[in-house]
Amino acid sequence: MKKDFDLNTPDVTDLTHSFQNACKNKEFKDFVYGLNIKEETLMKYTSSLEDAFLECQNCKKCNSLSSCKNSMPGFVYTPIAKEKVITFSYDACPKKQQELSDNAYKKNLDLLEMPQDIKNASFKDIYKDDKNRVPIIKYFKEFMDNYNNEEKPKGIYLNGSFGSGKTYLIASLFNEMAKKGVKSVLVYYPEFLRNLKANFQSDYNEKFDYVRKVPLLLLDDIGAENCSNWSRDEILGPLLQYRMENHLPTFFTSNLTLEELEKNLSTTTSGVDNVKARRIVERIKQLTVPYELVSKNRRE
C-alpha cells in the first residue's frame, strides 16, 4: 500500500528546524541520507521519515511476529525516493516474508467439507510414541521417494479406531507433497456426497471432475455415508475406475475394515447387491495398500 503526501510547504524555517533536530539522532540521519535524495526534499517529509525510522528500528529489535510493535504488524513503513518526491509503502518485514513463503505451498492443498486447520498437519507433530504409526510413516517415506517414478506408488486404505489420527496422518503426507508442488484434495466423503446431490443442477459436473482428476486424493471416512445406488454406482464406482486407469494415488480413511466396507456397500434402500459392492472394494484394493491404526482417542 502506498501513500503520497500533500506537499503544502509550511514555513521553511520550521521545516529546517524540525529536520535538523531529528538529525541529532545519528542513526536517523544515516537512515534518511541513505535515500540519496536532496536535503531540501527530505525536510518536507521529516515527520513521516521519523515514523518510518521508528518502524525500521522496531524490526531490528523484533523477536517474532507476535511481538511486532509496528502500526501494521508484520509490515514496515518504508520510504521510497523518486527524484523530488518521497512516497511511503507498507512492505512485509523479513519475518512476514518468511511466513508467507512457508505457507505458499498450502495453495496446493484443497479441502472439501473438511476443517481448515487440517492444512497445518505436519510430520513433526505426529505422535511418535505410538508404535502403530511406524509402519505407516515408513510407507509415507517410500511414497515420497517413489512418487516421481513412471509408475506412481499406491495410496493406502487406513482403517482404525475413532479419533486415532488417521486423517491427520494422511494430511501430513499431503502437506509434504504440496511443498513439492503436488496438488491434492482432502474430501470428507459423506458430506461431499450430500453436497454433490444438493448441487446437481449447478456445479455438480465441475466438482466431480475436479475430485476425479486431482493428482492426490483422500476420501475421508468412507463407509460413514448412507449408501445408495446413486452414491455407489454413479459416484464412487466411476471415480475409482478413472483413478485406477490413470494411476492416480488415492487414499481412504474409515472406521471399517475392507470386509466391513463391502458389506456396508452391498446394502441400499433398493436391496442387497453383493456383486457391485465387491467390485467397488476390488477397485480400492487395486488402488491401495491396507493399513490399520488402532490407538487411543486423541480427540478426548
- List the one residue out of 132, 139, 157 whose CA is nearest residue 296: 132
CA distances from 279 to 5, 228, 264, 266, 271 (A): 71, 15, 13, 10, 17
CB neighbours of residue 61 within 10 Å: 8
Contact indicator for 233, 276 with CB cutoff of 8 Å: yes
- Dihedral, CA of residue 130, residue 135, residue 139 and residue 140, to nearest 10: 0
Amino acid at 49: L
pTM, entire model:
0.68
- List the one residue out of 286, 114, 254, 283 whose CA is nearest residue 184: 114
- List the one residue out of 17, 44, 49, 15 whose CA is nearest residue 32: 49
Report the pLDDT value the prediction gives residue 119, as an integer from 0 to 100: 84
Q: Which secondary-structure segment (H or E) carries 138?
A: helix 134-146
Q: How far apart are CA 90 and CA 202, in angstroms?
A: 41
Report the pLDDT value the prediction gives residue 128, as an integer from 0 to 100: 59
Report the pLDDT value the prediction gives residue 7, as an integer from 0 to 100: 44
Residue with cell 521519523: 50
Q: How far apart are CA 198 and CA 114, in angstroms?
A: 17
pLDDT tens for the chain, 300 residues long, are 444 444 444 466 788 899 999 999 999 999 999 999 999 899 999 999 999 999 999 999 988 888 999 999 999 999 998 878 999 998 989 888 877 766 777 888 999 988 888 888 887 777 556 677 889 999 999 999 999 888 899 999 999 887 778 999 999 999 999 988 899 999 999 999 998 888 777 778 888 999 999 999 999 999 999 899 999 999 999 999 999 999 999 999 999 999 999 999 998 878 889 999 999 999 999 999 999 987 665 554
Residues 6+ apart with CB under 8 A from 254: 157, 158, 159, 221, 222, 223, 224, 261
Residue with cell 497445518: 120
Contact indicator for 229, 268 with CB cutoff of 8 Å: yes
